[in-house]
Chain A
Amino acid sequence: MNPADLHYDKEHEWVRVEGETAVIGISDFAQDQLGEVVYVDLPSVGDELVFGDTFGEIESVKSVSELFAPVSGTVVEVNDDLDAAPESINSDAYGAGWMVKVTLSDPSQLDGLMSADEYESFIANEA
């Protein structure tokens, strides 16, 4: 379920490292808890993500949640498809539901994130 090659944080974001850049999204557990996503507010290319700070918002029919940056970095690409198809986050949280791509400003921050196994234990305790 949760891909083994990703890093996860306690706010349920995931990070996929691709060379110098990192792709960020939310976990399958998070999308399931939220319910149908109807709107995502994401930063723009060039914006800075700061580890632990909010970088956007995600809205389902019932609730609104903040997105927290799992790593620091500069946004180089934003998934604009989510404007028209935010439900991709529900149907494909680790694929088409990706949110932003950043250049990592401090790759050592990845060491503080969880592996898929650790994340699964984490959500088992949280549920």
Chain B
Amino acid sequence: MTEALSRTPLYEEHLALGARMVPFAGFEMPVQYAGIIDEHKAVRASAGVFDVCHMAEFRVFGFEAFDALQRLVTNDLHKIDELGKAVYTVMCDEAGGIIDDLIVYHTGDLEYLIIANASNRAVDAEWIAGHLPAEVEFVDESERTGLIALQGPEAVRIITELSGEEPPARFHIAEARLDDSISVLLARTGYTGEDGVEIVCSAADAATVWRLLLSYSEVTPCGLGARDTLRLEMGYPLHGTDMDRSIDPISAGLSWVVSMKKGEFIGRDVLAAIKEAGPERKLVGLTVSEGVPRHGYPVLHDGVEVGTVASGTFSPTLEHGIATAYVPAALAEPGTRLEITARRKNVSATVVRPPFVAHTSLSA
């Protein structure tokens, strides 16, 4: 409680909307406006808007930018050779530990935009800049950049109206103008399991973009609370909760973002060995019989503690508790019966393969 909290360019908007503000990743952020469950359901049924200006944006460019980034991340950046494509990846240290998860966007010739977690901004910036050759430029644009997510089955229709054209395809990014006046980048990405866009704009334009989106009655302002329930229903891992520097992406269920064929990258040898041998522990999904599982609750098998809950919440769609947890690989099969110690009592839990909620506007 010593460091002053930062504010996003939308701070005053949140206060005006009656948001409940909480400290998060060094920022004063809205955790909810009307209520988490209503906001969550609005995103599943219509559209919700999220202030994600706290997230980090880095721009990397130059002749060697591709090769340098290819060494820094686990996924194969050849997947985004085409201009305007985006890829989800993690960035590991030499021991295979996850420094952060990122989306890398191919925004220009020899130029990439990286969007990363707010809480890891300083660590990421130091790591990335420290591993780039001198001729590759690195710019931390987080403070001058606004980022607003519009998510839900109505999101694409609304952004099409505002920009006058269809947004780019899934996992693509493109320049656009909103309301004929505001220059933005529209990225067809998100963290909710619904179709939608993340709007990259200048920090100075963020409040205008926010108000434009909220001028649609179908759009509900949503806080970090709904962002967390939405992402966990999809089984999307959260850095700092489901993964961190002590965990490798194979164990975290992210083998699909680790490309062993692309050549050398930081952490490759360790990750290849884990992939070959199979991870000792795996991140699994759990549904529980009652109550709400929370981060840190012990997970038991036959009365013996075998792991702890990583993420846990109440699923507004399913109306019961859901969680992720690291358990021994032998107990990771769907259908395995476990128990979670929820404070004073044990509740039964069943291993499932996320997503917890299968049918959304993305899967439709």
Instruction: Give the secondary structure class of A's interface.
Output: strand
Q: Check if A64 sits within 8 Å of B36, measured CB to CB.
A: no
Query: Closest residue of chain B to A33, judged by CB?
Result: B20
CA distance A59 to B288 in the complex (A): 14
Q: Give the A-B contact count at a CB cut-off of 8 A.
A: 36
- Tell me the minimal C-beta distance from B235 to chain A in angstroms: 18
Residues of chain A with a CB closer than 8 A to B202's CB:
none
Query: Closest residue of chain B to A41, judged by CB?
Result: B291
Query: Closest residue of chain A to B294, judged by CB?
Result: A64
The residue among A41, A59, A61, A64 with the most chain B CB atoms within 10 A of its own CB is A61
User: In the complex, which of the residues A35, A41, A57, A61 contacts B313, with contact meaning CB atoms closer than 8 Å?
Assistant: A61
Say if the beta carbon of A38 comes within 8 Å of chain B: yes
Q: Check if B35 sits within 8 Å of A39, measured CB to CB.
A: no
Q: Check if B343 sits within 8 Å of A36, measured CB to CB.
A: no
Say if the beta carbon of B37 comes within 8 Å of chain A: yes
Query: Closest residue of chain A to B226, judged by CB?
Result: A61
Known contacts A61-B229, A61-B316: A36-B37 contact under CB 8 Å: yes
Q: Which residues in window 39-63 of A have CB below 8 A to B? A: 39, 41, 57, 59, 61-62
Residues of chain A with a CB closer than 8 A to B31's CB:
62
Residues of chain B with a CB closer than 8 A to A59's CB:
291-292, 314
What's the tally of chain B residues with a CB closer than 8 Å to chain A?
Answer: 17
Known contacts A61-B229, A61-B316: A38-B32 contact under CB 8 Å: no
Residues of chain B with a CB closer than 8 A to A41's CB:
291
Known contacts A62-B31, A62-B36: A39-B314 contact under CB 8 Å: yes
Q: Mark A63-101, 1 if CB is under 8 A from B, else 0.
A: 010000000000000000000000000000000000000
Q: Check if B290 sits within 8 Å of A39, measured CB to CB.
A: yes
CA distance A48 to B343 in the complex (A): 20
Q: Check if B225 sits within 8 Å of A39, measured CB to CB.
A: no
Q: Check if A35 sits within 8 Å of B291, measured CB to CB.
A: no
Q: Check if A36 sits within 8 Å of B292, measured CB to CB.
A: no
Query: Closest residue of chain A to B229, judged by CB?
Result: A61
CA distance A61 to B36 in the complex (A): 7
Q: Mark B20-35, 1 if CB is under 8 A from A, else 0.
A: 0000000000011001
CA distance A38 to B290 in the complex (A): 10
- Tell me the minimal C-beta distance from B340 to chain A in angstroms: 13
Q: Which residues in window 255-308 of B have CB below 8 A to A? A: 290-292, 294
The residue among B35, B36, B292 with the most chain A CB atoms within 10 A of its own CB is B292
User: In the complex, which of the residues B36, B294, B319, B321 contacts A35, with contact meaning CB atoms closer than 8 Å?
Assistant: B36
Q: Check if B291 sits within 8 Å of A62, measured CB to CB.
A: no
The residue among A36, A57, A64 with the most chain B CB atoms within 10 A of its own CB is A36
Query: Closest residue of chain B to A61, judged by CB?
Result: B36
CA distance A61 to B34 in the complex (A): 13
Residues of chain A with a CB closer than 8 A to B343's CB:
57, 64
Q: Mark B305-339, 1 if CB is under 8 A from A, else 0.
A: 00000000110100101000000000000000000
Q: Check if B314 sits within 8 Å of A35, measured CB to CB.
A: no
CA distance A64 to B319 in the complex (A): 16
User: In the complex, which of the residues A36, A39, A57 contacts B36, with contact meaning CB atoms closer than 8 Å?
Assistant: A36
CA distance A38 to B225 in the complex (A): 14
CA distance A61 to B343 in the complex (A): 16
CA distance A2 to B314 in the complex (A): 29
Q: Which residues in window 215-267 of B have CB below 8 A to A? A: 225, 229
Query: Closest residue of chain A to B32, judged by CB?
Result: A35
Residues of chain A with a CB closer than 8 A to B292's CB:
38-39, 59, 61, 64
Residues of chain A with a CB closer than 8 A to B321's CB:
39
Q: Which residues in window 19-48 of A have CB below 8 A to B? A: 35-36, 38-39, 41
User: In the complex, which of the residues A36, A57, A64 contacts B35, with contact meaning CB atoms closer than 8 Å?
Assistant: A36
CA distance A35 to B313 in the complex (A): 14
Query: Closest residue of chain B to A38, judged by CB?
Result: B314
CA distance A57 to B294 in the complex (A): 14
Shortest beta-carbon contacts, A-B, top 9: A38-B314, A61-B36, A59-B292, A36-B37, A61-B314, A36-B35, A39-B291, A62-B225, A39-B292
Q: 13 interchain pairs (CB within 8 A)?
A: A35-B32, A35-B35, A36-B35, A36-B37, A39-B290, A39-B292, A39-B321, A57-B291, A57-B343, A61-B313, A61-B314, A61-B316, A62-B36
Residues on A lying within 8 angstroms of B by beta carbon are 35-36, 38-39, 41, 57, 59, 61-62, 64
